[in-house]
């Protein structure tokens, strides 16, 4: 009887086409379709509850909720205070912990393994491999995120949101790839596109603040190779193009990342105040660059800051800025109508140790091991997200795309001519533990599918092993550190993993990847 019911419900789903949270058609990945079919009845009930909550809120505020996504740089799983890091590791960031405990903290949130890929994933809801832009962009590189991709900023603009971004764009330097041409009304971006920019800043620093000050051979290297690494910062406005940022563009100094971050939060809070009373809701994408390998002159000597880890000082600066943001939301009386999500873009970049991030897991930035892709994340929404929750569910950064679309009532604006990997997680945020609609992850590194997670199991794909998972098959829930490969006790899980891989490939065959504009960058691309 139960089987008959689920078959019947499955048929209804098939007749209606794949459903997002609100029932409009777009193309999820194959494994989601199968999972959705099995859960159609429960999710339909949940969707009613979700809709009722959002409708009540909309009645109260007279508009859809505001959305703020904070993407940070190279902060590993275990680095925040609530995970045993924070002040325990010399980077006291109490506001981030408050965000975690006042809202939802996630032990199992996933990003792509490096900077540009995670930004692509968040902006498009798609794995980079589908978009034609696969790996980290380096300064001077001329390709970028295809204008034919649809960003969440475009979708939210279409849904009548104010849209703005601050920080590290890293999706292409050329004007056609720029945020003001990819859906943002306003953007303050582009400074410090990649690591060389930081190297140059550190080189220019004669104070010894940066670890690589007076990098030997740098001048000679630049002269010999004829490369100009100076990269300007821009403000961009939709329909008006870009302008260099006065006083910062082209001018390299160790203080400029800090100045840029300070200017960002000043602008952001002013912009939010301006939009707080607007008829339209807003979307803010704050891609804070500065946590990666920066130093804050303001906080280098602050109490509790590890002086051997300059990044710690920037974490403290960031903490102050997040507090300013939350204060603004409260002062304006819009906290309860604003979803704030904080997430890191990937694991730590140990190359800069001791000024670098850290993770308790195996691997680091660039790896599909958990240390590269499992990242700290929090969601905060007073009145809508009950405090003190740490769901057991897992989700992926692409889900933020689809969730934002659903919150804006714009699921129907997601293109239906391509696969969208992002899954609507409004249910997880509003209903809590057990409501993630994701039970799989494909871990890509560029165009290489490095690992697959299905339910509790993760298999590292090793073609050279003839398809046998061997010791690289983990119960990732039991063993997040990927210490104990276990083929024998989990052999039964091979078949479902192969099955979802077939479903995944089926969707690729139906909706082929966008071909890269240029040959794939290089394996040597620095991860930044």
Of residues 213 and 263, the one with the C-beta less far from its own copies: 213
Give the footprint of its own copies on residues 395-454 (CB under 8 A).
none
Task: Rule CB under 8 A: choose which of 6, 209, 389, 475 binds its own copies.
Answer: 475
Q: Does 472 bind its own copies (CB under 8 A)?
A: no
**Least distance in angstroms from the C-beta of 506 to its own copies:** 31
How far apart CA 85 and CA 347 sit, in angstroms, is 14
Q: Does 308 bind its own copies (CB under 8 A)?
A: yes
| CA torsion through residues 351, 355, 356, 359, sign | positive
Cβ-contact 106, 386 below 8 angstroms: no
Q: Does 300 bind its own copies (CB under 8 A)?
A: no
Q: Does 90 bind its own copies (CB under 8 A)?
A: yes
**Least distance in angstroms from the C-beta of 32 to its own copies:** 23
**Least distance in angstroms from the C-beta of 137 to its own copies:** 28
Q: Does 255 bind its own copies (CB under 8 A)?
A: no
Element housing 201 (H / E)? helix 195-204
Q: Does 477 bind its own copies (CB under 8 A)?
A: yes
Give the footprint of its own copies on residues 376-405 (CB under 8 A).
390, 392
**Would you give the binding string for its own copies spanning residues 258-297, x where CB under 8 A is met?**
----------------------------------------
**Least distance in angstroms from the C-beta of 418 to its own copies:** 34
- The DSSP annotation for 271-323 comes to HHHHHHTSSS-EEEEEE--TTTT---TTTTTSTT--TT-HHHHHHHHHHHHHH
Lookup: tokens for 143: 């390709």
CB proximity list for 216: less than 8 A, separation 6 or greater: none
Compute the CA torsion angle 427, 431, 434, 435 (nearest 10 deg). Answer: -10
Characterize the bridge pairing of strands 374-380 and 241-244. Answer: unpaired
Other beta carbons less than 10 A from residue 262's beta carbon: 17
Task: Rule CB under 8 A: choose which of 22, 27, 72, 83 binds its own copies.
Answer: 83
Cβ-contact 111, 345 below 8 angstroms: yes
162, 170, 504, 527: the catalytic one is 170
Q: Does 89 bind its own copies (CB under 8 A)?
A: yes
**Would you give the binding string for its own copies spanning residues 167-186, x where CB under 8 A is met?**
--------------------
Q: Does 88 bind its own copies (CB under 8 A)?
A: yes
Q: Does 42 bind its own copies (CB under 8 A)?
A: no
How far apart CA 177 and CA 525 sit, in angstroms, is 20
Question: What is residue 116's three-state secondary structure?
Answer: helix
- Partners of 189 in the beta sheet? 167, 234
How far apart CA 58 and CA 246 sit, in angstroms, is 40
Lookup: tokens for 478: 């039991």
Q: Does 506 bind its own copies (CB under 8 A)?
A: no
By CB under 8 A, which span of 117-125, 196-204, 293-301, 305-313 interacts with its own copies?
305-313
Q: Does 479 bind its own copies (CB under 8 A)?
A: yes
Of residues 236 and 357, the one with the C-beta less far from its own copies: 357
Element housing 374 (H / E)? strand 374-380
Tell me, yes or no, if 4 is annotated catalytic: no
Contact residues for its own copies (CB under 8 A)?
Answer: 78, 81, 83-84, 87-90, 107-108, 306, 308-309, 350, 353-354, 358, 360-361, 390, 392, 475, 477-481, 483-484, 486, 489-490
Q: Write out the catalytic residue numbers.
A: 115, 170
């Amino acid at each position: 009887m139960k089987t008959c019911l689920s078959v019947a419900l499955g048929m209804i789903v098939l007749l209606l086409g794949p459903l997002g949270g609100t029932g409009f058609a777009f193309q999820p990945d194959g494994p989601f379709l199968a999972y959705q079919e099995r859960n159609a009845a429960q999710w339909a009930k949940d969707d009613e509850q979700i809709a009722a909550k959002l409708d009540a809120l909309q009645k109260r505020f007279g508009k859809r909720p505001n959305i703020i996504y904070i993407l940070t740089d190279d902060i590993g799983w275990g680095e925040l205070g609530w995970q045993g890091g924070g002040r325990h590791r010399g980077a006291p960031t109490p506001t981030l912990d408050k965000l975690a405990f006042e809202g939802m903290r996630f032990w199992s949130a996933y990003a792509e393994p490096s900077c540009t890929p995670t930004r692509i994933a968040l902006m498009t809801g798609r794995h980079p491999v589908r978009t034609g832009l696969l790996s980290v962009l380096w300064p001077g590189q001329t390709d970028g995120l295809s204008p034919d991709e649809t960003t969440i900023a475009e979708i939210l603009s279409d849904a009548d949101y104010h849209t703005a971004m601050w920080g590290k764009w890293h999706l292409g330097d050329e004007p056609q790839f720029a945020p003001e041409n990819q859906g943002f009304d306003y953007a303050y971006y582009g400074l410090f596109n990649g690591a060389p920019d930081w190297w140059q800043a550190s080189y220019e620093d004669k104070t010894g603040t940066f670890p690589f000050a007076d990098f030997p051979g740098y001048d000679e290297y630049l002269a010999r190779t004829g490369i100009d690494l100076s990269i300007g910062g821009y403000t961009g406005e939709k329909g008006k193009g870009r302008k260099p940022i006065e006083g910062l563009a082209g001018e390299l100094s160790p203080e400029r990342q800090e100045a840029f971050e300070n200017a960002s939060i000043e602008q952001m809070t002013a912009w939010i105040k301006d939009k707080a009373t607007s008829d339209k809701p807003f979307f803010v994408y704050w891609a804070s660059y500065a946590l990666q390998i920066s130093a804050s002159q303001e906080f280098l000597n602050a109490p509790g800051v590890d002086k051997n880890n300059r990044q710690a000082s920037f974490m403290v600066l960031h903490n102050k800025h997040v507090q300013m943001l939350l204060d603004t939301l409260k002062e304006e009386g819009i906290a309860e109508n604003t979803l704030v999500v904080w997430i890191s873009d990937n694991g730590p970049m140990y190359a800069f140790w001791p000024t670098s991030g850290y993770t308790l897991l195996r691997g680091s930035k660039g790896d599909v091991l958990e240390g590269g892709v499992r990242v700290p994340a929090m969601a905060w929404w007073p009145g809508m997200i009950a405090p003190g929750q740490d769901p057991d569910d897992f989700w992926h950064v692409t889900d933020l795309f689809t969730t934002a679309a659903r919150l804006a009532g714009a699921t129907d604006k997601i293109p239906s001519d391509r696969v969208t990997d992002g899954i609507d997680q409004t249910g997880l945020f509003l209903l809590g533990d057990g409501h993630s609609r994701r039970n799989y992850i494909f871990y890509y590194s560029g165009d290489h599918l490095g690992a697959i997670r299905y339910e509790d199991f993760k298999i590292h794909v090793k073609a050279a092993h003839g398809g046998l998972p061997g010791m690289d098959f983990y119960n990732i829930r039991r063993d997040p550190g990927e210490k104990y490969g276990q083929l024998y006790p989990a052999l039964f899980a091979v078949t479902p993993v192969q099955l979802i891989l077939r479903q995944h490939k089926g969707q690729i065959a139906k909706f082929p990847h966008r071909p890269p504009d240029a040959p794939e960058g290089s394996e040597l691309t620095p991860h930044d």
